[in-house]
Amino acid sequence: MCQDFVLRYRDFHPYRSLREAELRASPTLRGTPIGHHEAASCIGFTDRPRNPQHRLDADQAPPLLLLTSRYDVATPYRWAVNAHRQATGSRLVTFDGPGHGVYHANECTRTAADAHLLGTAPARQPNTT
């Protein structure tokens, strides 16, 4: 995680300040354990990330199918939309509910994934949601 994201805190003080600001902005939600664990585990890492975020390079990839949920607690929906925009010819299937893994969410997500993986999906389609 620390090599993928710019979560750089020399010591605990900047992290604590960010946490306090988060609680002021959203006292009811209180953040997610996933995000806090990842941010706290990077305290003391001061070198540059070796694999930082960058524009998706999928021009030579086979057609991509992206499955996501609109209310994923681990990865924001806008991340999937952004990846979909960058991957020409990709398909984005959105489950309009919560969850991180959505293959089993409903018949639509299962059918889309099965068709894609089993080769019955169209080879390339314009970006559609």
- At 38, the amino acid letter reads E
Q: Are 91 and 64 in contact (CB under 8 A)?
A: yes
Q: pLDDT at position 80, please?
A: 95
Residue 104 has pLDDT above 60, yes or no: yes
pLDDT tens-digit series, residues 36-68: 777 888 888 877 777 777 888 888 888 899 999
Q: Please state, rounded to an integer, the average pLDDT across all residues of the chain.
A: 84
Pairing, β 65-71 against β 91-98: parallel
> What is the largest distance, in Å, between two alpha-carbon atoms of the chain?
54
pLDDT tens-digit series, residues 22-37: 889 888 877 667 677 7
